Amino acid sequence: MQQGSTGNARQGFLLMHMMFFLSVACILIVMPFIELAGIRTGGSGKAIPPRRVYIDILCALFTVGLLLALTGNPVVSLLVAVLFEVIFVSVSNIKYKILGEPLLFSDLFVARSFLQHPKFYLFSIPWYARVFVVVFLLFLVVGAFFFVVPDIRPHLVGIAMTVLGLLGIHALPAARWVPTPALEQDLQRFGLPGITFLYWRQWKASPIPPAVPPLPGSAAYDAVVVIQCESFADPACLPLPASVGPVAMPGLTQARRWAVQQGELQVSGFGAYTMRSEYGVLYGRTEAELGFRAFDPFLTAMQESSYALPNRLKGAGYESVFVHPHDIRFYNRNLLMPACGFGRMIGPEAYGHTASADMPYVSDMALGKSIETLVRSASGPIMVHAVTMENHGPWAASSQPAQGLANYLRHLGNSDRMLLDLMHALSGMDRNILLVFYGDHRPSIPGVFTPGAARDVPYVAVSLPAGRPDDQATSPPVALSPAGLHALIVQLAVKPA
């Protein structure tokens, strides 16, 4: 009997030491190796920065410790930690391939949007990755019932590991290591977990800018119409297959002829990040001024509402209307837009749209008609800011790039037709109208359009009804940032006091 007890004790001792060495190996070697070897970056550096390894070890210590504190099961904790690291790296690589950026701290806030509108995100995730995530989540649920160890000691060890990891992460000198965002370089130097924690710390420490007053002066126009067009790009600037040939854009061509100013809008996002372009045009703050807030400026926009175009134009007598034929809760617009100074919001319920395969979202033509009605019925100076929806992806399954391109170009043609029809409709009114039209970003269609250095989209600022003669040469293009377009709108829309 005593020999049996001694044998069990020896086995327990050996098992404890084996788990200790496995844990050390997982924290010091396996998880850092997954991050270092697996993460996709745009750089070509070969050297492994010591700080990156150090941060990977701290994050591994925290992850394994947290799981051990919850389950008390070392085997399950190590296995789930490794699987989580694989998922973390894989999702970041998928995003990098499609959008040209790794996972960021700001992406963690997308969870709510994902639950509300999963089709916006699921189309970009390969089927095998979806299956893997489902199996992983089921494993976690099952593990909560069958793998939790009642012995308190491993839980206490896990708590100690979690606290040590947190203390180490908290001690990282974020302000010294990443004083300003440099995403590609920082991903190389600090790794994916590193930029997640360091950037989040710097984002939290970002100062709130001082408030600004409404602009003095009077309205230079009876109406200012600003349209942000989903995925609108000039086909002549896109790497279209030779089989497609030239794509006619009569609306954009006419708008460029009539424009008081036109050119390239230099946006930072590719295939997504509508909110960056929208924020820049609405608020007029550059990404350099925003710093770490630039990755998702809508997260902190409530603190900067005095900069918003409607609030600034109030002093000149403009009443403002926000139009978006999709769920207004997306990006928290239902709260943000009233704070911006919009006195009225028009959402999808105004259109009575029934989704179909050919037209999943409200058509741009329908949106253009509603803008025309708003301007025609206005009794005083009005500013209309519209965000279109028709040309939002997915345009087809990821396995059908040619079909995706065809659908994209069809919807792009509808957007161009809306621009042309709206210009003629507004020109026929006995009013002075400023029409500003721009794209939010280029489309991302795997197998057709992939992230690159060129990310510009067109913008036009057209003064109606005067316009420019059709036979007059297009004005020279002027490249602007979204914040620069904001400044142009202010310059044109307000007569100084």
Residue with tokens 């070392």: 74
Q: Which of 150, 176, 204 is the last residue of a domain?
A: 204
Q: Are residues 145 and 287 in the same domain?
A: no
Angle (CA) 336 340 345, round 5°:
70
- Which pLDDT belongs to residue 397? 79
Q: Are residues 316 and 252 in the same domain?
A: yes
Q: Is the pLDDT of residue 21 over 90?
A: no
Number of domains forming the structure of the chain: 2
- Read off the pLDDT band of 127 (50, 70, 90): low
Q: Are residues 308 and 176 in the same domain?
A: no
Q: Are residues 178 and 243 in the same domain?
A: no
d(CA 422, CA 405): 26
Q: Is residue 149 part of a domain?
A: yes
Q: Is residue 210 part of a domain?
A: no
Q: Are residues 268 and 333 in the same domain?
A: yes
Q: Are residues 223 and 199 in the same domain?
A: no
- Which pLDDT belongs to residue 154? 87
Mean pLDDT value of segment 10-27: 64
Q: Which of 176, 204, 232 is the last residue of a domain?
A: 204
- Which residue from 289, 272, 215, 292 is spatially nearest to 489, judged by alpha carbons? 215
Q: Is the pLDDT of residue 118 over 70?
A: no
- Which residue from 286, 303, 283, 302 is spatially nearest to 294, judged by alpha carbons? 286
Q: Are residues 473 and 351 in the same domain?
A: yes
pLDDT above 70: percentage of residues in the chain: 86
Q: What is the pLDDT of residues 201-226, one digit of tens each?
A: 999 999 999 999 999 999 999 999 99
Q: Is the pLDDT of residue 468 over 80?
A: no
Lowest model confidence (mean pLDDT) among 8-17, 95-104, 283-292, 395-404: 8-17
Q: Are residues 434 and 476 in the same domain?
A: yes
Longest dimension (CA), the chain: 105
- Read off the pLDDT band of 2 (50, 70, 90): very low
Backbone angles phi, psi at 492, to 5 degrees: -80, -30
Angstrom CA distances, 164 to 57, 60, 63, 190, 313, stand at 11, 11, 11, 19, 52
Say whether pTM exceeds 0.95: no
Residue 237 belongs to domain spanning: 218-495
Q: Is the pLDDT of residue 349 over 80?
A: yes
pLDDT above 90: percentage of residues in the chain: 69
Q: What is the pLDDT of residues 328-348, one digit of tens each?
A: 998 899 999 999 999 999 999
CATH number for the domain that contains residue 289: 3.40.720.10
Q: Is residue 212 part of a domain?
A: no
The mean pLDDT value of the chain amounts to 89
Q: Is the pLDDT of residue 17 over 60?
A: no
Q: Are residues 125 and 225 in the same domain?
A: no
- Which pLDDT belongs to residue 1? 45
Q: Which residue has better confidence, 204 or 139?
A: 204
Positive/negative CA dihedral, 411, 419, 335, 105: positive
d(CA 221, CA 495): 9
Q: Is the pLDDT of residue 376 over 60?
A: yes
Q: Are residues 193 and 224 in the same domain?
A: no
Q: Are residues 228 and 311 in the same domain?
A: yes
- Which residue from 443, 441, 445, 446 is spatially nearest to 482, judged by alpha carbons? 441
d(CA 367, CA 360): 14
Q: Is residue 211 part of a domain?
A: no
d(CA 39, CA 271): 21
Mean pLDDT value of segment 234-260: 95
Q: Is residue 196 part of a domain?
A: yes
Q: Is residue 258 part of a domain?
A: yes
- Read off the pLDDT band of 424 (50, 70, 90): very high
Q: Are residues 237 and 351 in the same domain?
A: yes
Q: Which of 204, 236, 259 is the last residue of a domain?
A: 204
Q: Is residue 193 part of a domain?
A: yes
Quick count: other Cβ atoms within 10 Å of Cβ 188? 20
